[in-house]
Amino acid sequence: MLITLAIIVAIPLLFLATTATVNAVATNAEAAEITSYGQLVPVDGKHMNVVVSGQGSETIVLMPGLGTAAPGLDFQPLIQELAAQYRVIAVEPFGTGLSDQTGTARTGSNIAREVHEALQYLEIDRYVLMGHSMAGIYALTYSATYPDEVRAFVGIDTSVPKQPGWNERVPTDAIAVLKDLGITRVLTSITGDPYAGGPYDEKTRRQLNLLTTKNAAAPTLLNEVDNAPTNFEAVSGMTFPKDLPVLLFVRTKNIDVEGWVDLHQRQAASVDKSRMITIDGEHYLHRTHSPLITQATSSFLNTLSSR
């Protein structure tokens, strides 16, 4: 019986030791495969990666949602469409893409300040802010802090204050343990490539997966996840500046938040000039509906004065 018990205990321990070792070796090997793109700019004593595209007279700054491992690549379909008319700046906040990790708390105010510092380095002081998902929460703080710089806000299925589930916490300690033990890598190999079938070539898909493995459970991202309820609470009851034009794209498929469309309708109604467009798509609308987003954004911006 003791021998049987020892075997029962040893098998999972041996499995975890194997997966942890394989994960450590694979992680080191994959780091050498990651190729540079964009440019690194100094921010808060570290380096933040930004991707600059297009030559247009008007600038659009792209901000990613929470958990986007490589924004400069993930936004690629939208960048390609927008760059025909605009100068497009895809910012990779700390802990994403090729940007450094940071020990600074991932509060909305810190993230806004860091993104602004990157834009200042690039001498960009007038732009349209376009964000996906959680960027909608950060954009509220950003537009209130730098109102003279933001010409308009365009949201791509963005989060809104007081949306149901805003205060739910995620067990980030467990996520970190699963990554270190290699369990996350095993599960990923079973579920398959999340970018397969998407609008990315094979090389880009490979880089997206490499950077997902690198950043998905890194300390900076986990800190941002931990801070998500606090960041929602910080903008509770907050609206965009009344004179800030707002364009919102909202999904109508696989909606997992009660009242999702209504919440965006109310947000759009809180400013003087706004438009909300529902799209028959899922959360990552910029991957599947970039031409539509670009055309509607252009039409909306063309209606604006020189605010």
Are the CB atoms for 155 and 283 separated by under 8 Å?
no
- Domain hosting 256: range is 39-302
pLDDT band at 216 (very low <50, low <70, confident <90, very high): confident
Write the pLDDT tens digit of every residue in 254-295.
898 999 999 999 999 999 999 999 999 999 999 999 999 999
**Residue at 31 is within a domain:** no
Mean pLDDT of the chain: 90
Mean predicted confidence (pLDDT) in 215-244: 95
Strands 39-43 and 46-53: antiparallel
**Residue at 271 is within a domain:** yes
105 phi and psi, to 5 degrees?
A: -55, 140
pLDDT at 10: 58
**Residue at 25 is within a domain:** no
**Residue at 17 is within a domain:** no
Helices (H), 170-218: 172-180, 183-191, 202-215
pLDDT band at 91 (very low <50, low <70, confident <90, very high): very high
On the 0-12 / 13-18 / 19+ scale of CB atoms within 10 A, 103 is exposed
Q: Is the per-residue pLDDT at 144 higher than 70?
A: yes
**Residue at 49 is within a domain:** yes
The helix, strand and coil proportions of the chain, stated in percent and rounded to the nearest 5, come to: 45, 15, 40
**Residue at 24 is within a domain:** no
Nearest-CA neighbor of 48 among 120, 135, 107? 120
Domain tally for the chain? Answer: 1
* CATH number, residue 272: 3.40.50.1820
Q: Is the per-residue pLDDT at 101 higher than 80?
A: yes
Return all residues near 253 (Cβ < 8 A) that are at least 6 apart: 280, 281, 282
Confidence (pTM): 0.89
